[in-house]
Amino acid sequence: MSALLEIRDLYLEFKTSRGRLKALNGITFDIQPGEVFGLVGETGCGKTVTGLSILRLLPRSATITSGQVLLEGTDLLALSRSQIESLRGSKIAMIFQDPSTSLNPVFSIGSQIERVIRQHMQVSRQAAREKVRSVMAAVGLPDVERILGSYPHQLSGGMQQRVMIAMALSCSPRLLIADEPTTSLDVTIQAQILKLLRELQKKFDVAVILITHNLGVIAQTCDRLAVLYGGRVAESGSTRDIFNQPQHPYTRGLMNAIPHPGTRGKKMSTIPGTVPTNPGAMTGCSFAPRCEFAMERCSLETPPLYPLGENHSSACFLVEPKP
Ligand SMILES: Nc1ncnc2c1ncn2[C@@H]1O[C@H](COP(=O)(O)OP(=O)(O)O)[C@@H](O)[C@H]1O
Ligand SMILES: [Mg+2]
């Protein structure tokens, strides 16, 4: 199967008052059509910036210094502003953590979804309205007529997020990027939204990139995943392989930190130390300062992603093939 999206060796830096902050340092992964792909890592690892890079929604201070983002073979980084704008929403859509800030408080839900549809598709008002109704029903919003006339504050967080998903899917994109879509919701609602994201493949034939800091969320939702650290892929592979045989010490650390029922709300990280603020300025593996297995070499050389059989790889010298 040929990939829907391929990110190849993506480097990105921010200009800051304290100099260049190298946030992405060679991100590489691919997304297959219709799969749910997890991007996971602690806060500051580069998940959001990676998502925004795909759609080129980056702040002005950010520059992609090298790499490619290929959508069905076309490099999105080489498209003109207007080309990328017409692609946003129609081929790739994105939703964020807090739906209430993405919805406009002064317009009804119906008019907001309708506007999105008419921005991207040449359809009559009537056809747009029908599309709105069908997509709202498909994301499990009950009592569609009432919700169409509602304003955002009249809906619960979970309902608002369903509205955002409906809006994102209204133009039949091939890829939905969901950045911490359930982080602001409580646990039962979270589970419902994750179940919905899981079902979208069948209903809409759309691939999903699910961005989360919570590896527990990935387990129940994703087909494959990439663990990010310091703006690089530490490990990637099928959810099964990674959960059964995590290879990278960072992945193992995240696994030990998966919150169990009753511990919700506690800070997730139990890995000693903190994420580097400028990982691209470091020599060697950016996880080395926190790694219990670090060798001298780890602070001198950057480990490449070593393939470990089909579809599984780890960027750690511990898995380097013996000569
Ligand atoms: N607008 C910005 N200006 C400067 N640095 C930024 C900006 N946005 C993000 N960063 C930095 O880029 C890195 C990756 O951030 P981000 O992608 O938001 O992480 P995550 O989503 O994994 O929590 C962090 O070091 C963060 O501080
Ligand atoms: Mg983020």
Residue 66 lies in a domain: yes
Dist CA 78 CA 69 (whole Å): 9
Name which residue sits closest to atom 3 of ligand 1, judged by CA. 14
Of the candidates 170, 242, 235, which has an alpha carbon nearest to the alpha carbon of residue 203? 170
Of the candidates 29, 45, 51, which has an alpha carbon nearest to the alpha carbon of residue 305? 29
**14 or 186, which is more confident:** 14
Pocket of ligand 1 (CB under 6 A): 14, 16, 21, 23, 41, 43-49, 59, 61, 277
The tokens describing 295, both together, are 């060798």
Residue 180 CA: which ligand is closest? 2
Give the chain's domain count: 2
Pick from 129, 155, 172: which residue ends a domain?
A: 172
Looking at the structure, do residues 152 and 224 belong to the same domain, yes or no?
no
Looking at the structure, do residues 288 and 250 belong to the same domain, yes or no?
yes
What pLDDT does 261 receive?
A: 60
**Rounded mean pLDDT, 181-195:** 93
Pick from 172, 204, 230: which residue ends a domain?
A: 172
Residue 99 lies in a domain: no
What pLDDT does 315 receive?
A: 98
Q: 138 in helix, strand or coil?
A: helix
The tokens describing 8, both together, are 């190849």
Amino acid type, 282 = M
What pLDDT does 263 receive?
A: 55
What pLDDT does 130 receive?
A: 87
Pick from 172, 191, 221: which residue ends a domain?
A: 172
**131 or 320, which is more confident:** 320
Residue 98 lies in a domain: no
Residue 36 lies in a domain: yes
**Rounded mean pLDDT, 186-211:** 93
Which residue among 7, 16, 43, 48 has the greatest number of ligand 1 atoms within 8 angstroms of its CB, and so is best to mutate? 48
Looking at the structure, do residues 75 and 221 belong to the same domain, yes or no?
yes
Looking at the structure, do residues 164 and 180 belong to the same domain, yes or no?
no
Distance 18 CA to ligand 1 centre (A): 14
How does pLDDT run across 61-116, given as a tens digit for each residue?
Answer: 999 999 999 999 999 999 999 999 999 989 999 999 988 888 999 999 999 988 88
Looking at the structure, do residues 129 and 259 belong to the same domain, yes or no?
no
What pLDDT does 123 receive?
A: 86
Residue 261 lies in a domain: yes
Looking at the structure, do residues 156 and 240 belong to the same domain, yes or no?
no
Looking at the structure, do residues 240 and 120 belong to the same domain, yes or no?
no
**Rounded mean pLDDT, 8-23:** 97
Name which residue sits closest to atom 5 of ligand 1, judged by CA. 14
Residue 12 lies in a domain: yes
Looking at the structure, do residues 56 and 197 belong to the same domain, yes or no?
yes
Looking at the structure, do residues 31 and 149 belong to the same domain, yes or no?
no
Distance 84 CA to ligand 2 centre (A): 22
Dist CA 3 CA 196 (whole Å): 23
What pLDDT does 274 receive?
A: 93
What pLDDT does 114 receive?
A: 87
| Torsion on CA atoms 138, 203, 28, 44, rounded to nearest 10 | 20
pLDDT above 70 (res 269): no
SS (H, E, C) 300-311: CCCCCCEECCCC
CATH number at residue 38: 3.40.50.300
Looking at the structure, do residues 260 and 304 belong to the same domain, yes or no?
yes
pTM over 0.85: yes
- The rounded percent of the chain whose pLDDT value lies above 70 is 96
**Rounded mean pLDDT, 260-289:** 81
Q: Rounded to whole angstroms, what are the CA distances from 133 to 127, 184, 192?
A: 10, 26, 20
How does pLDDT run across 276-292, given as a tens digit for each residue?
Answer: 999 999 999 999 999 99
Looking at the structure, do residues 257 and 206 belong to the same domain, yes or no?
yes
- The rounded percent of the chain whose pLDDT value lies above 90 is 79
What pLDDT does 116 receive?
A: 85
Distance 9 CA to ligand 1 centre (A): 18
Q: 133: domain range?
A: 104-172
pLDDT above 60 (res 259): yes
Residue 96 lies in a domain: no
Looking at the structure, do residues 230 and 165 belong to the same domain, yes or no?
no
What pLDDT does 227 receive?
A: 98
